[in-house]
Amino acid sequence: MTTRVTPKRVGVVGLALGVLAFWVALPPIHARSLVVPVILAALGAAAGIYAVRGGSVRVGWSAIAVGFMGLGLAYLATQSSVGNLQIVFTWSTLIASMLVFATPLMYASLGGIFSERSGVVNIGLEGMMLMGAFWGIWGADKTGSWVTGVAIGMAAGGLLGLLHAFFSIHLRADQIVGGTAINLLALGITGYAFVQLYGRENIPAGVSEVPRLQLRFLDRIPPDSLGNFLYGAFGRLSVMIWIGFLLVALAHVVMFKTPLGLRIRSCGEHPRAADTVGTSRSRSPVCSPVQEARSCRSASSAHSTKA
């Protein structure tokens, strides 16, 4: 089997070398001198230059940039102690909490994707998240179950999304002005409701939590340290985090593989063209802000997992 050396392939190798330059300075290899990263980064950059000259400009320049970044990061890594590096890069709790903090962003951006793709600029995501967070925790507190809490949170965020949709689509108000209004409104509504419903006290402890998915088998993966690491990082995550990952995949399928997704995208890219083929312009974007309800789940999950 022969593989031809094309500039693009060389560029990709250059990219990999640049990453490698940083990686060798990290655990478990711990290159403590800069010589190896410098050589690797230089090779990567050289490969990048070759690729640029050969015509793959984007890959080539990326390889050059990654080479320099790898070198810089490797330099920083060699300046910090091995102990610190191990804490940062092999401490499974850090990975787990990274996922916890990433989850709200993930849900919110899924909501954002649906509205942006349908041509509605959504500045009001923050307000929708706030509504979801407050009414989600309120629902969980009053009904005693996190499932209904999440559902109520979704409904609250979705309701605000509908309001935004009504004003920006049916009344053709400016979407950004509307979004700003949504943010202010959410701040006022949740603040008011909090004082009204809970007075000066805090939300009581012991609100039903989102359960964690226990993945015991990760612990038993052969090298003990690896098993421990994997279990610590991924073995005790909230169900919401895994649902979030599933929804990312689902959102991709809906957006790019279904008629609904096609309609949403066509509304965003060329509303009048969508009109001519009979897609209801006002209906499709209305559906999408409802999807933003997802963003609220995030918030309630974040709250319940921390509670």
Partner 1 sequence: MTEPQDRPPPEQGEPTTTAGKLQLQQKLGGIIPPVLTAILAFFMGGLVILASGANPIDAYAGILEGAGINWFWDHFGNTDILDLATFNLTQTLLRTTTFVFTGLAVAFAFRCGLFNIGGQGQYTMGVVVAVWVGAYWGNALPNGLHVVIGIVLAALAAALWAGIAGILKATVGAHEVITTIMLNWIAFWFASYCFGQGGPLQNTTPGQESVPISDNVYDQSGAIIPILWGDLGLQALHYGIFIAVAALIAFWIIMNRTTLGYEVRAVGFNPSAAAYGGINVKKNYFLAMAISGLFAGLAAATDIFGWKYSAGVLDVQASAVGFVGIAVALLGRSTAVGVGLAALVFGALDYGTTRGLDPEVFDPTLAGNLSLMIQGLVVLFVGADLLILYLWSLRRKRFAAPRMSGRGA
Q: Which residues bind partner 1 (CB under 8 A)?
A: 121, 123, 163, 167, 171-174, 176-178, 180-189, 191-192, 195-196, 200
The residue among 144, 129, 249, 115 whose CA lies nearest residue 190 is 129
- Residue 277 in tokens: 């083929």
- State the nearest-atom distance from the C-beta of 123 to partner 1, in Å: 7
Torsion of CA 299, 304, 305, 307, to 10 degrees: 120
- CB nearer partner 1, residue 193 or residue 307: 193
Pairwise CA distance, residues 225 & 170, whole Å: 58
Burial (CB count <10 Å: 0-12, 13-18, 19+), residue 28: exposed
- State the nearest-atom distance from the C-beta of 113 to partner 1, in Å: 16
| Buried-exposed string 260-280: b where 16+ CB fall within 10 A, e elsewhere | ebebbbbbbeeeeebeeeebe
- 259 neighbors 287 (Cβ within 8 angstroms): no
- State the nearest-atom distance from the C-beta of 253 to partner 1, in Å: 28
- State the nearest-atom distance from the C-beta of 112 to partner 1, in Å: 12
Helix (H, G, I), strand (E, B) or coil at 298: helix
- CB nearer partner 1, residue 182 or residue 286: 182
Angle at 109 between CA 106 and CA 112, to 5 degrees: 160
- State the nearest-atom distance from the C-beta of 176 to partner 1, in Å: 5
Residues in CB range of 282: below 8 A, 6 or more apart: 169, 170
Pairwise CA distance, residues 179 & 173, whole Å: 10
- State the nearest-atom distance from the C-beta of 163 to partner 1, in Å: 8
- CB nearer partner 1, residue 192 or residue 256: 192
- CB nearer partner 1, residue 96 or residue 182: 182
- Residue 158 in tokens: 């979705």
- CB nearer partner 1, residue 70 or residue 178: 178
Q: Using alpha carbons only, how large is the chain's radius of gyration in Å?
A: 24
- CB nearer partner 1, residue 133 or residue 163: 163
* Eight-state DSSP code of residue 236: E
- State the nearest-atom distance from the C-beta of 193 to partner 1, in Å: 8
- CB nearer partner 1, residue 120 or residue 150: 120
